[in-house]
Amino acid sequence: KAGVTQTPRYLIKTRGQQVTLSCSPISGHRSVSWYQQTPGQGLQFLFEYFSETQRNKGNFPGRFSGRQFSNSRSEMNVSTLELGDSALYLCASSLEGVGSRSYNSPLHFGNGTRLTVT
């Protein structure tokens, strides 16, 4: 079974530009989450999508947005890039996400997209 696939693996952008990152979840997984990883802050939650609806959102500015398609694939967009947006962006998928008493749907991560803003 293929894992979570993120494209591209590396991106270099200039301040002020925008960028779109793509994520294909594990087959059958309906929940897709996005995290930002930096050396100083570690992994921080951006947002989660489930059945094409944003279900959770972290404390990031509105420049960060995302969407999910009917096949569960997801994209994340960052507009007006800033130097501080340089990070590893990780996508994770799970079967359903938590919503019942039994949690048996852990997150599985992709290898990330390394974004460098110059």
Partner 1 sequence: QKEVEQDPGPLSVPEGAIVSLNCTYSNSAFQYFMWYRQYSRKGPELLMYTYSSGNKEDGRFTAQVDKSSKYISLFIRDSQPSDSATYLCATHILTGGGNKLTFGTGTQLKVEL
Cα 30 to chain center, whole Å? 14
Residue among 62, 67, 56 nearest 107 (CA)? 56
Contact 14, 81 (CB under 8 A): yes
Q: Which of 11, 43, 75, 86 is the binder for partner 1 (CB under 8 A)?
A: 43
Binding to partner 1 (CB under 8 A): which residues in 63-92?
Answer: 90, 92
Nearest distance in Å: CB 16, partner 1: 28
By the rule CB under 8 A, 59 interacts with partner 1: no
**Rounded to a whole number, what is the distance in angstroms from the first to the last CA of the chain?**
37
Contact 69, 52 (CB under 8 A): yes
Residue the block writes with tokens 């890039």: 81
By the rule CB under 8 A, 28 interacts with partner 1: no
Nearest distance in Å: CB 80, partner 1: 25
Nearest distance in Å: CB 48, partner 1: 5
Q: Which residues bind partner 1 (CB under 8 A)?
A: 4, 6, 31, 33, 35, 41-45, 48, 50, 55-56, 58, 90, 92, 94, 97-99, 101, 103, 106-112
